[in-house]
Structure 1
Amino acid sequence: MQNNAAKSALIEAGRWVSQKGWVPATGGNFSIKTETGFVVTASGYDKGHLASEHFLELNQQGEITAGSGKPSAETALHLKLYQLQPDTECVLHTHSVAATVLSRFIKGDTLSIQGYEMQKSLRGVRSHEDALKIAIFDNDQDIDRLAELVAQRHQSEPVVHGVLIRGHGLYAMGNSVAETRRHIEGLEFLFACELERIKLESAL
């Protein structure tokens, strides 16, 4: 994808994600793989009101080649996800209530979901009976260290649809912008269902 097309796609995705309430304040960051490298959102902008000047262009090594502003510190994690899954074309990072709360409630390093028809919205999932596992990582301000932990985990449990960062949010990925958006919407529905299920069970 060319840089201008990538920016347009992310502007549209930003409006959609913002309307869902998944990127409050200036939270979240987005990226798309391009012909020359990557386009990523600059830090500090409302994702529901992005414009072309709110993006940075990076080469394949992650070095800034065009644009102004500060790249998000989490850009390194985007680049690591592209490296781990070469067919990934888009990464969207969101801060929904359900993803943030669930990632703190679950004490282990995996959120396991099973029994929901909506699981089939995710690439490769064929049945509600499949156990969908989303890796959870503790939040860390050292993004390079966090990215390396994701890479280490990927060796035994490949990252396919995305990862959760505890108390932070979801990084969803896909082989196109459309697939990444579908993965976010499917995962967020599943997270919301799990949160409601836990609350109902606690009330019994």
Structure 2
Amino acid sequence: MRFMLDPTVSREELVEYCREMARQGYAPASGGNASIKLQEGVWITAGGSVLKNLSLNELILVDEDGKRLKGNGSPSKEVLLHLAVYKANPKVKAVFHFHPPYTIAACALIEEGDDPIPVFVPTYLMRVRGVKLLPYYHPGSIELSQKIASLALDYQVILLRNHGLVSSGETIIKAAQAIEETEGNARIFLLAGSSGRAIAEKYCRELKKKYWLNQ
């Protein structure tokens, strides 16, 4: 597979977004990983990288099988997960796998399946195209990457119980915004509690029809 050139993503932008989002608490300590797809292959954060302090020399270039082509160190242990998304959805150019705390907490309270977190703000549906919650899988496992591969074409955000989430997009900003919207909605869900009134399903369907139709 030959990766197509896309000027809308760059290594510099990936580093910038990783730093900012980690500082917002989405990827504490050395947790989380991110990647972009360029003509030469996939650039992914190195294993053990502290994303809030990420530098360009902590990005590893890998081929479609995860073999290291450039860079020092080893790619993230979740490299197969990232490659699974790119192979399943050719439009994707950026993938984030982070551990946002409110999202993880919300996922501990809800059932697995499609659109599992009640929708409290319309922008969540406007900017996030498809959400699914999976049961727990070990980080870095082949089983997790295989499951992600079967879903990445239809779901922009895949929630991982007791683990985190995977977000993808045609640009870095789209993948990042999906995380911010998911975490924001999850926070409101937790603050509202069981008596909170979410947006009615009728209006959720209308929002999906309006904003997802041409995506």
Instruction: Measure how far apart 1:179 and its partner are.
Output: 1.0
Aligned partner (choices 141, 144, 164) of residue 143 of structure 1: 141
CA deviations 1:125-169 (Å, max 9, x no partner) are: xxxxxxx642323122452111212334x3xx9533121111111
**In structure 2, what is the equivalent of residue 11 of structure 1?**
15
CA contact (8 A) 1:29 1:94 kept: yes
Residue 75 of structure 2 aligns to a residue whose secondary structure is coil
Identity %: 23
CA distance in 2, matches of 1:199, 1:21: 25
Q: Provide the aligned length of Structure 1 versus Structure 2.
A: 190
4+ runs of 1 displaced by more than 4 Å? none
1:54 aligns with 2:49: no
CA separation of 1:19/1:113 partners in 2, compared to 1, >3 Å: closer, same or farther?
Answer: same
Q: Given residue 183 of structure 2, which amino acid in structure 1 is its aligned partner?
A: E
The alignment's TM-score, normalised by the length of structure 2, stands at: 0.79
Aligned partner (choices 42, 45, 49) of residue 41 of structure 1: 45
**In structure 2, what is the equivalent of residue 127 of structure 1?**
none
CA distance in 2, matches of 1:113, 1:161: 17
Q: Given residue 133 of structure 2, which amino acid in structure 1 is its aligned partner?
A: A
The alignment's TM-score, normalised by the length of structure 1, stands at: 0.82
Q: Given residue 51 of structure 1, which amino acid in structure 2 is its aligned partner?
A: S
Worse-matched range after superposition: 61-70 or 27-36: 61-70
CA contact (8 A) 2:103 2:186 kept: yes
Q: Given residue 135 of structure 1, which amino acid in structure 2 is its aligned partner?
A: L
CA distance in 2, matches of 1:76, 1:143: 8
Instruction: Measure how far apart 1:73 and its partner are.
Output: 1.4
Gaps of 5+ in 1: 125-131
Aligned partner (choices 160, 175, 182) of residue 180 of structure 1: 175
